[in-house]
């Protein structure tokens, strides 16, 4: 409820810009396309490993680079496609470039000496990183009574 009533002298101007002025996304980060191609990541902790899922459809396994440096896992991909058509009287050449890079800091429980498994299927990159022996037990949960 508004305390002050606004007098619309020029309602046609308000209707022209209604989508702009009433849009909450105007000053939101998504309005700028900078992270539009950033894939979603799921991280699951299991008894003896961590599983990282990266949603990146439309790529091939050759497009990815997965790198582990100290405790930082970096997943990046780059795809370049080019299409050229030449027919009677005209020619057209289009190209597309997309890339992303995501980094995840890994906990001390990761065994960097063991093999890290990665496979790409149906648009999902799965990465399995194994834990050290002493960390293979998940912490037990405990219900705490509130008094």
Q: What is the pLDDT of residue 50?
A: 92
- For the stretch 2-61, pLDDT in tens is 455 555 565 555 555 555 555 554 444 444 444 456 888 999 998 899 999 999 998 898
Pick the CATH number of 34-135 from 3.30.300.20, 2.60.40.790, 3.30.428.10, 2.60.40.2550: 2.60.40.790
Q: What is the pLDDT of residue 128?
A: 95
DSSP reduced 3-state for 22: coil
Q: What is the pLDDT of residue 117?
A: 94
Domain residue spans of the chain: 34-135
Count the Cβ atoms, other than its own, within 10 Å of residue 70: 8
DSSP E strands in 88-142: the ranges are 90-105, 117-121, 124-130
Q: Is pLDDT larger for residue 86 or for residue 109?
A: 109
Confidence of residue 138 (pLDDT cuts 50, 70, 90): low
Q: Report the pLDDT averaged over residues 100-128.
A: 91
Phi/psi of residue 105, nearest 5 degrees: -80, 125
* Report field, pTM of the whole predicted structure over 0.75: no
Tokens matching residue 52: 């990282």
Q: What percent of the chain has pLDDT above 90?
A: 28
């Amino acid at each position: 409820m508004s305390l002050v009533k606004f007098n619309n002298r020029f309602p046609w101007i308000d209707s022209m810009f209604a989508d702009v002025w009433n849009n909450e996304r105007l000053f939101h980060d998504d309005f700028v396309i900078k992270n539009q191609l950033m894939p979603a990541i799921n991280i699951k902790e299991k008894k003896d490993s961590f599983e990282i899922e990266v949603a990146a459809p439309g790529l091939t396994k050759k497009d990815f680079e997965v790198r582990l440096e100290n405790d930082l896992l970096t997943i990046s991909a780059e795809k370049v496609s080019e299409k050229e058509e030449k027919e009677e009287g005209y020619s057209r050449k289009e190209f597309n470039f997309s890339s992303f890079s995501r980094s995840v800091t890994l906990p001390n429980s990761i065994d960097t000496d063991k093999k890290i498994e990665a496979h790409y299927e149906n648009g999902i990159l799965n990465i399995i990183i194994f834990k050290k022996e002493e960390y293979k037990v998940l912490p037990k949960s405990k219900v705490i009574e509130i008094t």
